[in-house]
Amino acid sequence: MTIKVAVQGALGQMGREVMRAVTAAPDLELAGACDARAEKSAKFSPAENAPPVPLNDNLARLLADTRPDVLVDFSLAAAVPQTVEIAARAGVSLVIGTTGLSAQTLARVNDLTREYHIGAVIAPNFALGAVVMMELSRIAARYFDWAEIIELHHEYKADAPSGTAIATARTMAASRDKPFRSLDSDAGHPSRGQKFDGVTVHSVRMPGLVANQEVILGAPGQTLSIKHDTTSRECFMPGVLLAIREIAGRPGEFIFGLEKLLDF
Question: How is the chain split into domains, by residue range?
Answer: 3-122+234-261, 128-231
- With bands split at pLDDT 50, 70 and 90, how would you rate the model's confidence at 200? very high
- CATH 3.40.50.720 describes domain 3-122+234-261: yes
Tell me what pLDDT residue 189 has.
79
Tell me what pLDDT residue 177 has.
95
Residue 33 burial class via C-beta count within 10 angstroms: exposed 0-12, middle 13-18, buried 19 and up: buried
Cα distance between residue 73 and residue 224, in whole Å: 35
Catalytic residues: 153, 157
CATH number attached to the domain at 128-231? 3.30.360.10
Phi, psi dihedral angles at 259 (to 5 degrees): -60, -25
Indicate if 128-231 has the same CATH topology as 3-122+234-261: no
Q: Is 154 annotated as a binding residue?
A: yes
* pTM assigned to the model: 0.86
Share of the chain above pLDDT 70, in %: 98
Task: Classify 135 as helix, strand or coil.
Answer: helix
* pLDDT of 156 above 80: yes
Name the more confident of 132 and 49.
132
Q: Is 124 annotated as a binding residue?
A: yes
Cα distance between residue 119 and residue 121, in whole Å: 7
* pLDDT of 74 above 70: yes
Short-list 23, 20, 19, CA closest to 2: 23
Residue 225 burial class via C-beta count within 10 angstroms: exposed 0-12, middle 13-18, buried 19 and up: exposed
* pLDDT of 148 above 80: yes
Among 47-51, 91-95, 152-156, 184-188, the range scoring the smallest mean pLDDT is 184-188
Q: Is 14 annotated as a binding residue?
A: yes
CB distance 86 to 60 below 8 Å: yes
Q: Is 212 annotated as a binding residue?
A: no
